[in-house]
Structure formats: structure tokens, C-alpha cells
């Protein structure tokens, strides 16, 4: 999912660093996996109801309980050796449960990606980069009736709802060109790769 597309379509009225907005998805990528918990969520945040236009999708309030697939480390486009951003990817528990059962993502499966700035820490035995403040939040929903096979939603910081990006957006183009399992980037996440093989996937 491209931050350029998210910023252009979802960041109207929100201040965005042009250099950040122009960042391209580049390699190398660092995959880190863990497993999360299953729990249904409500559309409440900090005790306040979330209200959205009829065609908008509310940012999930329970995303902290979604299953983590992994985190990718993205480098700066102008200096490829310099880390720039981490993107933390999660899947809704109901979609993950079906994947465990049959190795496929159901229609309507939701994936969340949180774009984080980086902070360097050299205080330990080895220097490292850790996730810092959230830069952006994106939501991908698989939809077999959509021309792209999925819908993308962009949430600038503080946004609680968003409209779907237009068909043929750069996120959809990237997923079509580089996605693997059902057009997702599942190949970056060892847990999904391993589970898929249990169901006969290569």
C-alpha cells in the first residue's frame, strides 16, 4: 500500500511532509511475526461513538486486538541504505480463523497497516530501530465484486472514517503486480507462508 496514494486521497486538509508523501516502496524488507488475540470490537474510541457517512468505513477501534502478521522496514527512496519507516500489518481475527481452517482469506477479510516513523536506540548491547509515532493508517478489504478485488481506505492521524480509494489506485496496481496469495503480500510473513503450506500452497 503506497503512502503517496494514501496521502493524496486521504490526507486532504492534513499537513503532510512532501518528502514523506513521495516515498516509494523499496527493499529490503524486514519481516517480524507474532500472534495476537481474538475478540470482537465495538465502534467506540475513548468512550465516544464513531459516526461516519453512509458510504464511509470507520477506522477499527479494536485493531490492537487483531492478529499481527509482520512488520516491514522500508528504506528512503533517495538514500536506499537509510531506514525510513516501519509498516505494521495485522489481520482481523475472523479472517485469520478462516485462514487457519482452509488456507484462504475470506471475501471481506480486513487487513490493517499502520505506518510508523522510526526511532534509533543504541542504549542496549546492539543498536536497533523501533517503531515511533504513527504517520498513517490504512485498511484493505478483500472484495471479489470490486474491479480491483479489494478496497483501500486511508486514515490520516486523527481520522475516524474514510471513503474507499478510486478503482485502479496505485495501491491496487501494486498489489496486482506484486501480490501473491489472493493479491496480498503474504509472502513477507513467515507464519502465513508456513500455514499456507500446511494447506498445500507452494
Q: What pLDDT shows up at residue 52?
A: 52
Q: How would you label 83-119 residue by residue, b for 16+ Cβ within 10 Å and e otherwise?
A: ebbbbbbbbbbebbeebeeebebbeebbbbbbbbebe
Per-residue pLDDT reduced to its tens digit, 124-159? 888 888 989 999 999 999 999 999 999 999 999 999
Mean pLDDT on 55-72: 95
Q: Residue 65 pLDDT more than 90? A: yes
pLDDT over 90 at 191, yes or no: no
Give the pLDDT score at 25.
Answer: 34
Does pLDDT of 15 surpass 80?
A: no
Sorted by sequence, the CB contacts under 8 Å of residue 26 that are 6+ apart come out as 74, 75, 77, 80
Query: Is 60 exceeded by the pLDDT of residue 23?
Result: no
20 CB-side CA count, 13 A? 17
DSSP helix/strand/coil, 76: coil
**Cis bond upstream, residue 28 (ω within 30):** yes
CA distances from 144 to 27, 151, 182, 183, 198 (A): 29, 10, 10, 11, 25
- The kind and range of the H/E element at 173 are helix 170-178
Residue 56 falls within a domain, yes or no? no
Task: Report the CATH number that the domain containing residue 129 is assigned in CATH.
Answer: 3.50.70.20
Q: Are 25 and 87 in contact (CB under 8 A)?
A: no
Region 29-40: what's the mean pLDDT?
A: 32
Residue 197 pLDDT: 87
pLDDT at 121 over 80: yes
Give me the chain's average pLDDT, please. Answer: 79
The answer to the question of residue 43 being in a domain is no
In this structure, what is the dihedral angle of CA atoms 181, 153, 109, 52, given to the nearest 10 degrees? 180
Neighbour tally for 186: CB within 10 Å: 24
Closest CA to 93 of 141, 42, 37: 37
Q: Let me know if residue 106 belongs to a domain.
A: yes
Q: What is the pLDDT of residue 5?
A: 52
Residues 182-190 have a mean pLDDT of 92
Number of structural domains found in the chain:
1
Range in 58-62, 63-67, 79-83, 90-94 with the lowest mean pLDDT:
79-83
Does residue 48 sit within a domain?
no
Query: What is the span of the domain harbouring residue 109?
Result: 3-37+61-198
C-alpha cell at 17: 511532509
Confidence of residue 4 (pLDDT cuts 50, 70, 90): low
Residue 44 inside a domain? The answer is no
Amino acid at each position: 500500500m503506497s503512502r503517496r496514494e494514501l496521502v493524496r486521497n486521504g490526507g486532504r486538509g492534513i499537513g503532510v511532509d512532501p518528502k514523506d508523501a513521495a516515498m516509494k516502496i523499496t527493499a529490503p524488507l524486514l519481516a517480524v511475526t507474532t500472534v495476537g488475540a481474538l475478540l470482537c470490537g465495538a465502534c467506540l474510541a475513548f468512550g465516544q461513538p464513531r459516526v461516519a457517512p453512509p458510504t464511509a468505513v470507520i477506522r477499527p477501534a479494536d485493531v490492537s486486538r487483531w492478529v499481527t502478521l509482520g512488520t516491514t522496514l522500508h528504506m528512503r527512496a533517495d538514500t536506499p541504505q537509510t531506514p525510513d519507516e516501519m509498516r505494521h500489518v495485522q489481520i482481523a481475527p475472523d479472517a485469520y480463523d478462516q485462514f487457519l481452517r482452509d488456507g484462504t482469506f475470506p471475501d471481506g477479510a480486513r487487513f490493517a497497516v499502520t505506518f510508523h516513523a522510526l526511532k534509533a536506540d543504541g542504549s542496549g548491547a546492539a543498536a536497533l530501530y523501533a517503531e515511533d509515532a504513527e504517520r498513517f493508517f490504512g485498511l484493505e478489504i478483500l472484495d471479489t465484486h470490486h474491479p480491483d478485488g479489494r478496497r483501500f481506505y486511508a486514515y490520516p492521524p486523527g481520522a475516524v472514517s474514510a471513503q474507499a480509494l478510486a478503482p485502479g489506485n496505485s495501491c491496487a496496481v501494486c498489489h496486482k503486480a506484486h501480490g501473491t496469495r489472493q493479491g496480498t503480500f503474504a509472502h513477507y510473513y513467515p507464519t502465513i507462508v508456513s500455514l499456507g503450506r500446511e494447506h498445500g500452497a507452494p
